[in-house]
Amino acid sequence: MQNVQTSNAPAAIGPYSQAMIANGMVFTSGQIALTPAGEMINGDVSAQCVQVVSNLKAVLEAAGSSFDKVIKTTIFLADMDDFAAVNAIYGEAFGDHKPARSTVAVKTLPKNALVEIDAIALI
């Protein structure tokens, strides 16, 4: 196994890695709307999702992967009413590639984020 770390995404805010590589795959930790400097984006869910997608892209690239190699994602929403806004930004990021996905509403996310996304991808 190999730990993935990049300064182009926020550092982990707990005892975990940005991602791990194992058996030709990368497993990312959930990304929230922290800038690479660790500052929270305080905008609406769309502004936060843009940052989340940017963070996820940076972590995948650091692992030698990309959105077109993603197999599965999980989206965590603080409010399921934000589904359409998040779906639009997510769809733009992934284009014609359509990985398997789960979307769930949760009571609270770290730092009171509105959206969190993680991914599993091929290298």
Give the model's pLDDT for residue 37.
97
- Please state, in angstroms and as integers, the Cα–Cα distance from residue 52 to each residue in 2, 41, 74, 79, 87, following that order: 23, 10, 12, 16, 13
Give me the pLDDT at residue 4, please: 97
Q: pLDDT category, 13, cuts 50, 70, 90?
A: confident
* pLDDT tens digits, one per residue of 36-77: 999 999 999 999 999 999 999 999 999 999 999 999 999 999
Give the predicted TM-score (pTM) of the model.
0.96
The residue ranges of every structural domain in the chain are 2-122
When the pLDDT of each residue in the chain is averaged and rounded to a whole number, the result is 97
Binned at pLDDT 50, 70 and 90, residue 93 comes out as very high
Which DSSP helix (H) or strand (E) runs through 50?
helix 45-62
Task: Quote the CA–CA distance of 48 and 41 in Å, as a whole number.
Answer: 6
Superfamily of domain 2-122: RutC-like (3.30.1330.40)
